Structure 1
Amino acid sequence: MGYDLHITRKENWFDATPGFSLEDWFGYVESDPELRHDGFAEAALNGRDVLRVERKGLCVWTAYSGGERGNDVCWLAWSESDNIDVKNPDPEIRRKMWSIAERLGAKVQGDDGEFYGPDGEPIADVTSTPGSESPAVKRPWWRFWQ
């Protein structure tokens, strides 16, 4: 299990309205020299076994630094819900997702509905609350105590 971020053209990533077709995604991947469509992802499980997932639209970001451990891989996956999804993206990946979204006329949205900006951080949703003099800042649930 993990937390997904979605590149979406929809009002909300989970809406049933059309978003990206597989052809849209392939067209973008062809134009971005840092992305490669492999159609599969592999991960070593215990040194002997390999987990392999095959899916059309599954691409690897070849310019990714590898994260904190230096050996991680970034996969971006087109989903049948017409979004581009990434599981547990770090700030570097979130910034790349934003640049992709910018070129595609889309946005980056998390599972809980929050949006992300060019710095890879959530965008504060400033709203007024009844009876308050200052606006309240909505935060994702995992930042409630910050």
Structure 2
Amino acid sequence: MDKPSVYSHQDPLKKLGSSSPLLEKLRLLHGHLKHQHHYIDRIAVALFDAKTDTLKTFAWSSEHESPLTHYQASLSDAPSLIEIIKSGNPRVVNNMEIFSDGQNTHTRVLEKSHFGSSYTFPMYQDGQFIGFIFFNSFEKNVFEE
């Protein structure tokens, strides 16, 4: 039997369009993603302030304490993130150990938090870079094309 052209749909993400606080929306989205991708242990949003060249952790969702709450750093001190902006493409790191010699605070903190892999997505608005969304997993080799 063919599916009707118009039908009622219960959208599990409907609350994303509500006036709920952003953090609540991020946690809803994280829960939905985690249902389909069990390995996503943390989602974080960092916004970019072009006037000060600063990335600031804006919101996060995790079952564990966030290792970088209210963290900020100069974007110019993060060459691997600059490369993402230049390419405009997401970055997959399936073994966070490649950053084990990193000197930046955020690199050391994430390593101590035992994340195994990361997917970093650059965000743009009207063609201008505005920040990143980070998806982190305690497992290695979980993100793919």
TM-score tier, shorter chain, comes to: under 0.3
The TM-score, its normalising length taken from structure 1, stands at: 0.23
The TM-score, its normalising length taken from structure 2, stands at: 0.24
Q: Relative contact order: is structure 1 or structure 2 higher (C-alpha 8 Å, sep ≥ 6)?
A: 1
Structure whose residues are more often helix by fraction: 2
